[in-house]
């Protein structure tokens, strides 16, 4: 069974003209606030209060990708929504992020955002400033994948970070009402490839 009704219940607030020091004060004020994502880029701060649906989809993406890494024998570190920063310029918290094939690093190899509001293109500028090689957006049941090039991000059809991953399978399983059935189907298909 596929779940098809999306309720964009995230709340988003942006404000321009914020210094890095002011942003750090805002970060400190929200440090113990689960469900809040903070972003900063060139004087603009975004505060995103994510919904339960948002967190549920993010969690299932993490579950399915973790399953993929294990079955395929790919060494990884799930870094979740850790804050990726370039002092004074940019700060971002993806919904999910991963180091792939290495154990440490300040910047993820792959960052994933669940989007219920808007702003994919503007968010790419943040990740470009950080140097994140690959960014995925999941919006309206579909993944949009981007690969960093010398002149910015390019939309791609297949992941460079995970070239054997069937993105359509991931999307289909993510939309299944039963998460147990979703993981079982995902495991069955990727075990055969």
Report the sign of the C-alpha dihedral through residues 100, 128, 150, 168, in that order.
positive
Please say if the pLDDT value at position 6 is more than 80: no
> What's the rounded Cα separation, in Å, for the pair 8 and 115?
8
- pLDDT of res. 120: 66
> What's the rounded Cα separation, in Å, for the pair 164 and 161?
9
* Average of per-residue pLDDT values in the chain: 90
Q: What is the mean pLDDT of residues 40-48?
A: 91
Tell me the CATH number of domain 52-192, given options 2.40.480, 3.30.2320, 3.90.1570, 1.10.357: 3.90.1570
User: What pLDDT digit, counting tens, does each position of 45-92 carry?
Assistant: 989 888 888 899 999 999 999 999 999 999 999 999 899 999 999 999
Q: So where are the chain's domains?
A: 52-192
- pLDDT of res. 34: 81
* 3: confidence class by pLDDT, cuts 50, 70, 90: very low
Please say if the pLDDT value at position 8 is more than 70: no
């Amino acid at each position: 069974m596929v779940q098809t009704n999306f309720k964009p219940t995230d709340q988003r607030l942006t404000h321009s003209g914020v210094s890095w020091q002011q942003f750090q004060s805002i970060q400190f004020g929200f440090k113990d606030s689960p469900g809040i994502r903070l972003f900063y880029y060139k004087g603009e701060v975004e505060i995103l209060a994510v919904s339960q649906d948002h967190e549920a989809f993010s969690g299932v993406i993490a579950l399915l990708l973790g399953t993929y890494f294990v079955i395929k024998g790919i060494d990884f570190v799930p870094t979740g929504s850790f804050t990726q920063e370039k002092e004074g310029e940019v700060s971002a918290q993806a919904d999910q992020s991963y180091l792939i094939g290495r154990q440490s690093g300040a910047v993820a190899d792959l960052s994933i955002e669940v989007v219920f509001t808007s702003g994919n293109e503007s968010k790419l500028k943040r990740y470009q400033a950080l140097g994140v090689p690959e960014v995925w957006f999941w919006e309206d049941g579909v993944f949009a994948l981007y690969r960093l090039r010398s002149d910015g991000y390019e939309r791609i059809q297949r992941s460079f970070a995970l070239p054997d991953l069937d993105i359509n399978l991931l999307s289909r399983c993510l939309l299944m009402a039963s998460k147990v059935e979703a993981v079982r189907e995902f495991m069955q298909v990727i075990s055969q490839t």
